[in-house]
Amino acid sequence: MSQRQCDSGAGAAAPASTEDQELPVLDPVTDYEKVNRIGEGTYGVVYRARNKLTGEVVALKKVRMDRERHGVPVTSLRELRILQACRHPNIVELKSVVTGRRPDSVFFVFEYVEHDLGRLLDSMRAPFKESEVKCLMLQLLEAIAFLHEHWIVHRDLKLSNLLLSNKGVLKLCDFGLARSYRPYDVAYTPNVVTLWYRAPELLLGYERYTEAVDMWAAGCILGELLRHEPLLPGKTEMQQLELIFKLLGSPSERIWPGLSAMPLWPKISLPAQPYSFMQQEFPGLSEAGLDLMCRMLCYDPNKRITARGALKHPYFRESPYPKAPHDMPTFPSAHNATTAQAARQPQQAHRGGRRRQDVEARFARAFDPEGPSSKHQRVG
């Protein structure tokens, strides 16, 4: 088996539906000893655990059944099939599926990876260097490109769903909202993607979206890594749109054909913002870096850069050059506390919550209503 492959076939073929497939269960969960709880995914709690037979440390994800009357949730079946079918060095490896004492108690066994970038960024005293950001983004884009070439859209890209090993390898995880899609016009639910990373077409209620929603989220991640704080930390969907408009300027039919046909567009009443503040927001970023950010955060999803296109962007071929994964810094793992120790520790605040006021103050300063400066670019 090659290191990069998808068992469902060639990249041009869309995967088969997973809704009616049965869940294979292999070993009992009693083969594993839970060490501590390390997080919670979209559809389940995640534990660090140890295989009693081999001593291998793994991540054990309990599938949440509280909303399901009959069998395993369809979302978990989708996640299972996608992870079983696809193997890539930058996608977390699903090792097996195990069952608990009850028939409805099911666990996914994943490789254990030491850090998630959300917690790591919160605990770092200094931000990643730009060469390190480039290393992380190249790995993320490789994972996204692989998924998209196999007709899979992740739909929940965010820092806490990006794992980082002590060898500097990034792993994309939590496929609870991921699904296969078709290369033709199909309606999907727009209520996906964590709010701060949600593309404008989703915020405007558009149901026939494409894999471009992942690229918008990736652009938000790039901005967050560069700034060491959330790029667009909205509290509500309307405020999220307002922050987007303030950063990029207000969209129009000229730059985003079809905007007026978006289901929620007639209900939007926000002050017109004719200028983009991207350059002011990233004053130290090169022209190539700004160009990549603008292409990832492009209003029109049909013009938004693809993952493969982003990988070829000049930004990654200019100084400072991307670090190799093995040259990335190492950090103490936040997951090494025992279950008892973890119970004594306070719950971590919501991602970025302690910095939200600082971020909002930054936006208030940046978006000066008195007029443009030399760093403000008129939109459209």
Among 172, 29, 55, smallest CA distance to 107 is for: 29
From 156, 185, 300, 358, active-site residue: 156
The number of C-alpha atoms within 13 Å of 77 and in the hemisphere containing its C-beta is: 14
- Cα–Cα distance between 110 and 122 in angstroms, integer? 24
Task: State the average pLDDT for the chain.
Answer: 83
Are residue 126 and residue 54 in the same domain, yes or no? no
Instruction: Residue 96: give its domain's CATH number.
Output: 3.30.200.20
Per-residue pLDDT of 81-122, as tens digits, reads 899 888 999 999 999 999 887 767 889 999 999 999 999 999
pLDDT, mean of residues 275-281: 93
Q: Domains in the chain: how many in total?
A: 2
What are the phi and psi torsion angles at 56 (to 5°)? -65, 135
Are residue 67 and residue 126 in the same domain, yes or no? no
Which residue segment(s) compose the domain that 123 sits in? 115-327
User: What was the pLDDT predicted at 21?
Assistant: 44
Q: Is the pLDDT of residue 266 over 50?
A: yes
User: What was the pLDDT predicted at 105?
Assistant: 82
* Contact yes or no for 22/71 (Cβ under 8 A): no
User: What was the pLDDT predicted at 67?
Assistant: 56
Q: Name the band, by pLDDT with cuts 50, 70 and 90, for residue 350.
A: very low
User: What was the pLDDT predicted at 103?
Assistant: 67
Angle, vertex CA 298, rays to CA 296 and CA 299, nearest 5: 145
Residue 234 lies in a domain: yes
> Higher model confidence: residue 373 or residue 206?
206
Are residue 130 and residue 202 in the same domain, yes or no? yes
Give the CA diameter of the chain. Answer: 68
User: What was the pLDDT predicted at 24?
Assistant: 53
Q: Is the pLDDT of residue 374 over 50?
A: no
- Cα–Cα distance between 76 and 81 in angstroms, integer? 9
User: What was the pLDDT predicted at 196?
Assistant: 97
- Cα–Cα distance between 324 and 319 in angstroms, integer? 14
pLDDT, mean of residues 305-332: 97
Residue 203, by phi and psi: left (phi above 0), alpha (psi -120 to 50) or beta?
Answer: alpha
Among candidate residues 80, 111, 142, the one where a domain is terminated: 111
Q: Rank 11-20, 187-196, 231-240, 269-278 by mean pLDDT and report only the highest.
A: 231-240
Q: Rank 26-35, 242-251, 360-369 by mean pLDDT and report only the highest.
A: 242-251
Instruction: Residue 234: give its domain's CATH number.
Output: 1.10.510.10
Give exposure, 183-217, as e/b (b: 16+ Cβ within 10 Å).
Answer: eeeeebebebbbbbbbbbbbbbebeebbbbbbbbb
Binding residues: 61
Residue 339 lies in a domain: no
Residue 75 carries which side chain, given as an amino acid letter?
A: T
Are residue 52 and residue 151 in the same domain, yes or no? no
Say how many C-beta atoms besides its own lie within 10 A of residue 303's C-beta: 12
Among candidate residues 78, 111, 144, the one where a domain is terminated: 111
Three-state SS at 61: strand
* Contact yes or no for 39/3 (Cβ under 8 A): no
Instruction: Note if the pTM is more than 0.75.
Output: yes
- Cα–Cα distance between 57 and 299 in angstroms, integer? 43
User: What was the pLDDT predicted at 11?
Assistant: 41
Residue 315 lies in a domain: yes
Three-state SS at 228: coil
- Cα–Cα distance between 355 and 36 in angstroms, integer? 27
Q: Is the pLDDT of residue 278 over 80?
A: yes
pLDDT, mean of residues 237-250: 96
Q: Name the band, by pLDDT with cuts 50, 70 and 90, for residue 14.
A: very low
Binding residues for ATP: 61
Q: Which helix (H) or strand (E) holds 335?
A: none
* Contact yes or no for 139/322 (Cβ under 8 A): no
Are residue 195 and residue 246 in the same domain, yes or no? yes
User: What was the pLDDT predicted at 191?
Assistant: 67
Q: Where are the beta strands (DSSP E) in 252-300?
A: 275-276
Known catalytic residue: 156? Answer: yes
Are residue 101 and residue 193 in the same domain, yes or no? no
Q: Is the pLDDT of residue 10 over 50?
A: no
- Cα–Cα distance between 136 and 151 in angstroms, integer? 23
19-33, 179-193, 219-233, 306-320 — which is least confidently predicted? 19-33
Q: How much of the chain exceeds pLDDT 70, in percent?
A: 76
Residue 333 lies in a domain: no
Are residue 162 and residue 85 in the same domain, yes or no? no
Are residue 211 and residue 282 in the same domain, yes or no? yes
pLDDT, mean of residues 366-372: 48
Residue 77 lies in a domain: yes
User: What was the pLDDT predicted at 347?
Assistant: 36
End-to-end CA distance of the chain: 49
- The dihedral of CA 118, 122, 123, 125: what is its sign? positive
CA distances from 271 to 199, 241, 243, 246 (A): 20, 11, 11, 9
Q: Name the band, by pLDDT with cuts 50, 70 and 90, for residue 15.
A: very low
User: What was the pLDDT predicted at 273?
Assistant: 86
Residue 190 lies in a domain: yes
User: What was the pLDDT predicted at 45?
Assistant: 85
Per-residue pLDDT of 190-208, as tens digits, reads 767 899 999 999 999 999 9
Q: Rank 5-9, 95-99, 216-220, 364-368 by mean pLDDT and report only the highest.
A: 216-220
Q: Is the pLDDT of residue 70 over 60?
A: no
Q: Is the pLDDT of residue 345 over 80?
A: no
Are residue 165 and residue 279 in the same domain, yes or no? yes
Among 157, 245, 152, smallest CA distance to 204 is for: 245
> Higher model confidence: residue 288 or residue 192?
288
Are residue 237 and residue 322 in the same domain, yes or no? yes
Q: Name the band, by pLDDT with cuts 50, 70 and 90, for residue 362.
A: low
Question: Which residues sit opposite 115 in a β-bridge?
Answer: 164
Q: Name the band, by pLDDT with cuts 50, 70 and 90, for residue 334.
A: low
Among candidate residues 53, 77, 111, the one where a domain is terminated: 111
The reply to whether omega before 320 is within 30° of 0 (cis) is: yes
* Contact yes or no for 309/277 (Cβ under 8 A): no
Among 94, 100, 95, 96, smallest CA distance to 82 is for: 94
Looking at residue 297, what DSSP letter applies?
T
- Cα–Cα distance between 35 and 49 in angstroms, integer? 5
Are residue 266 and residue 208 in the same domain, yes or no? yes
Among 41, 133, 148, 176, smallest CA distance to 88 is for: 148
Residue 257 lies in a domain: yes
Are residue 287 and residue 247 in the same domain, yes or no? yes
